Chain A
Amino acid sequence: MSEKRRDIIGSIIFIIFGIFLFAVSFTVKTIIENDVGPAFMPKIVAVAIVIVSVSKLIIALKNNSASYTTEKKSKDDKMGSLLTILNLGAYVVLFEPLGFIISSIVYLILQMIILSDKVNFKPVKFAIISVASTVAIYFLFVYAFNLMLPEGLLGII
């Protein structure tokens, strides 16, 4: 993606968000007399977002310099980021239903596998570290800091 296309996409996302914020602000009502009301500031911010992003769009469209328009190949490992995002998403969703201990152990093992290469791929070591660190964190927070963590499946037993 070229920097130009990146800036155009970015401006459009922000323009849409600004308009959305402005529209939703009309559902907010003023209660106190003489007060500009709780919708005032959101509307100002919405208008400011639209003005700034439209300026950004115009500047991006006008700029046709070589370095700005050349397509740059991203160095990112797409598979690596996609798997990390999916694994993280699954972790936060299953955090409560499965409970802290089970969800964390599964997340840790999978994440370590995703991040490792062939040389460092050591599933047994990952499993041991995952279980040990999860249990250590659980006891530290629950017993030393008196915080609650979801028990999930382990709570039923």
Chain B
Amino acid sequence: MVLEGILAVILSPTCLLVTLLGVVVGIIFGSIPGLSATMAVVLFLPMSFGLSPVDGISLLMGLYIGGISGGCISAVLLKIPGTPSSISTVFDGGPMADKGEAGRAIGISILYSFIGGILSLIALIFISPYLAAITLKFTAFEYFSIALFSLTIIASMSGKSVLNGLLSGLLGMALAFVGISPIDGFMRFNFNSINLLNGFDIVAVLIGLFAVTDIIQTGADRKRLFDKGNIIQYSMKGFGISLHEFKGQFVNMIRSALIGLGIGILPGIGGSTSGLLAYSSAQNASKYPEKFGTGIIDGVIASETANNATIGGALIPLLTMGIPGSTVAAVILGGLTIHGITPGPLIFVKNGVFMYAIFTALLVANLYMLVVEYAGLKWFVKLLGIPKHILLPIVMVLCAVGAYATGNNVFDVWSIFAFGMLGLMLKKLAITTTPFIIGYILSGMAEENLRRALIVSKGDLLPFITRPISALFLIVAVVSIVMIVIKNKAKRATA
């Protein structure tokens, strides 16, 4: 099974080629501010349907790795993060570029993106089979508690307001009710429309919220579209780090990778937080914290190691429990389901070959990223100059094609517009959309397991708190909400 999975990737020229394509496109999307890793994966999701499951998912893995890694190029050269994950790379990458060390900053970013990716892949390979074995014992009670836990964690971690986060998550759950209900297959909330029989297509929802909303917003921002930063000159010599420096940064590297991994495992927090957290931890632990922000390699290493380590972390709960750790992971979950692969405790039993193929694809994608981003930097930098008023409309056309291609149905094209407008409304109300999408995805799982649990217990709610794992997740869910509320109160009191 292990060998079969590895060979399915390595011996297939198509698979190696689409993974390369994914990495290249991912780096382009990651490096251009305004296009994100999420957008890259969303846009290519429909394309992956036409491929075999292993090829399709390898393409998505390539896009994911490339998308997160590409952000450092513009973070250093434009001082604008190409993707939210590299916000903290700007802090020291920008000043390094000012000192004439732009090439060194990018070289180090690429190297540590690779290291972060590989360390998290190792964690993924070793943790997920054990976690899958534990989750085998889970019943409907545990699954419902985990879904509830995920939703509250996301709501409390994303954005400033817990209430807004909760509303966003609840709205996502509500819209997922449209169509056929789980267990009994009852048709609900379709208002006699044939188009709503199967609910809203997840791809259309994702494209709408994560691409169309951004494109509508550029309309409101059109006058600022042309204030692009100047691309700083750079020269590359190796990866810009000596063996001595590498040894000196070893602790920083391991700590940042662990932070990235941890944040990745927790649902819905994502790359930008992990980069920021690793950066501040590196600063707190440093012997020279005052030098952070003046252009030292420590900051760049912390940020880039952590954001790439988030990838492997996010895939752990995704593959073993079907819970997405980030928005990109949520999109990949959509991709897995469409290819008939159900993430969950049985994944090693039912789709074992496939799991090892994913691990191999991740390794291959990381290697590609290291080589392609380093060797092709010149070309990626050229693409940073493409004018946005030409690029974004073309991305919109790709969105429409992507939505239409999912089901050969024009209703999905209308849906992306509707969800784009919904995303715009939520942005205007200062409500973040990440909880919405996690709510939308987990709604079915939460409902199915709650109802199944209540059928088993004959309506008794007690097992949810008497079963230890279920109780643990519910307690953490409540504690997370309470802690954030207390923290916000303290903030308001000091403000």
Contact = CB atoms under 8 A, between A and B. Distances in A.
Contacts of A7: 429-430
A137 B183 contact: no
B390 interface: yes
B389 A88 contact: no
A17 B450 CA distance: 23
B110 to A, nearest CB: 29
B167 A49 contact: yes
Contacts of A56: 161, 163-164, 167
Interface of B: 46-47, 50, 161, 163-164, 166-167, 170-171, 173-174, 177, 181, 183-184, 186, 188-189, 212, 215-223, 225-226, 387-390, 392-394, 396-398, 400-401, 404-405, 408, 410, 413-414, 416-417, 420-421, 428-431, 443, 446-447, 450-451, 454-455, 458-459
Contacts of B183: 32, 35, 38
B397 A104 contact: yes
Greatest chain A CB density within 10 A among B222, B389, B393, B410 is at B393
A146 B51 CA distance: 10
Contact of A84 (B50, B166, B216, B414): B216
Contact of A117 (B226, B394, B401, B447): B226
A69 interface: no
B458 A34 contact: yes
Nearest to A138: B401
11 contacts: A35-B184, A41-B446, A45-B170, A81-B216, A84-B220, A88-B216, A107-B397, A119-B226, A133-B397, A137-B398, A147-B408
A2 to B, nearest CB: 12
B74 to A, nearest CB: 20
Contacts of A107: 393, 396-397
B450 A95 contact: no
A3 to B, nearest CB: 8
Interface string A110-134: 0110111101100000100100011
Contacts of A146: 50
Given A83-B219, A89-B417, A55 B163 contact: yes
Nearest to B409: A96
Contacts of B455: 32, 34-35
Contact of A150 (B167, B181, B410): B410
Interface string A57-77: 001000000000000000011
Contacts of B420: 88
Interface residues of A, number: 73
A151 B5 CA distance: 41
Given A92-B414, A137-B401, A36 B170 contact: no
Contact of B171 (A49, A55, A89): A49
Interface of B is mostly: helix
Interface in A17-52: 17, 21, 24, 27-29, 31-32, 34-42, 45-46, 48-49, 52
A85 B394 CA distance: 16
A129 B389 CA distance: 12
Interface of A is mostly: helix
Contacts of A34: 455, 458-459
B44 to A, nearest CB: 10
B174 A49 contact: yes
Contacts of A28: 181, 186, 188-189
A141 B400 contact: no
Contacts of B450: 36, 40-41
A100 B405 CA distance: 12
A77 B47 contact: no
Contacts of B50: 145-147
Given A38-B183, A96-B413, A112-B389, 19 more contacts: A10-B164, A10-B431, A28-B181, A35-B184, A37-B184, A41-B446, A41-B451, A56-B167, A77-B221, A77-B222, A77-B223, A82-B219, A88-B215, A88-B216, A100-B404, A108-B397, A120-B389, A126-B390, A148-B405
Contacts of B443: 41
Contacts of A108: 393-394, 397
B397 A134 contact: yes
Contacts of A120: 226, 387, 389
A77 to B, nearest CB: 5
Contacts of B215: 84, 88
Contacts of A31: 184, 186
Contact of A6 (B186, B225, B417, B430): B430
A41 B350 CA distance: 30
Contacts of A85: 216, 219, 421
